[in-house]
Amino acid sequence: MEASPSNPPPPSASTLDPDVKNLFDNCVRAVFSRWTVLCLAVEQGWGGRNSAQKADDLLQSVVEMFASGERVYADELEDVLFDSIENDFNTTAEDGSVEQVARQLTTIWHKASQGDLTMLHSTLAANPQKGSLASVHKHDPADDDSDEDDSSDDEDAPSPAPAQPDTMDVEPTPTVDPDGWETVPSRRGGKRR
């Protein structure tokens, strides 16, 4: 598809300031660190011993999608997220969170590529924890085999902060292309094949 005045080229990672790219990477990490399904998958080791690494790999593949220079649509990102949750963590996300994470990240990227960094900054400000998504990993599945009747470990162990449901319940703003077409979000929900 060629660029024209009515159909500009998609936002490209090469057109963004390196500081904005770095902020966006941190923003993806912040969104992932509040995504309950992913955090539980890492905490509980649903992806095996290397669940934290699988979560970091997913984060990197999402960041690379946006950095590729081609426009990333929410439904494409949903497919990547659904596939990773199902294949890497052996679970399904039927709570609508995959769609919500995909819409949130594509909206943030689109706005940031147009110079509007308010949503990016507000997402980062809402995330008090810094560092790797792997820092969410508190549970070692290897410990499940030992001392099954010792219940005091669960009471004394620090538990991760519960996900803030209100931070993920943001109504997505419709994405309107420069030519006036509005992108309609997927209605798949839990009906993934």
List CB contacts of 180: < 8 A, sequence separation 6 or more: none
Q: How far is residue 138's CA from residue 140's CA, in Å, rounded to a whole number?
A: 7
Q: What are the residues whose beta carbons fall under 8 Å from the beta carbon of 64, sequence distance 6 or more?
A: none
Name the nearest CA neighbour of 34 among 133, 148, 181, 176: 133
Residue that wins the pLDDT comparison between 16 and 62: 62
pLDDT for 146 equals 41
Contact (Cβ atoms closer than 8 angstroms) between residue 90 and residue 47: yes
Strand partners, 175: 183
The pLDDT score that the predictor gives to residue 15 is: 58
Kindly state the helix (H) or strand (E) to which residue 165 belongs, with its residue range: helix 165-168
For 98-143, the pLDDT digits (tens) are 999 999 999 999 998 888 888 988 888 887 554 445 444 434 444 4
Distance CA 155, CA 166 (A): 27
pLDDT of residue 103: 96
Quickly state the pLDDT bin for 158 (edges 50, 70, 90): very low
What confidence tier does 169 reach under pLDDT thresholds 50, 70, 90?
very low
pTM of the model: 0.61
Instruction: Give strand ranges (E) for the chain.
Output: 175-176, 182-183
Q: Which of 159, 182, 4, 45 is nearest to 107 (CA)?
A: 182
Q: State the Cα angle at 50 between 47 and 56, rounded to 5°.
A: 90
Distance between terminal CA atoms of the chain? 30
- Residue pLDDT, tens place only, 42-95: 999 999 999 999 999 999 999 999 988 889 999 999 999 999 999 999 999 899
Confidence of residue 175 (pLDDT cuts 50, 70, 90): confident
pLDDT (0 to 100) of residue 20:
86
Q: Tokens for 159, please give them.
A: 């538990």
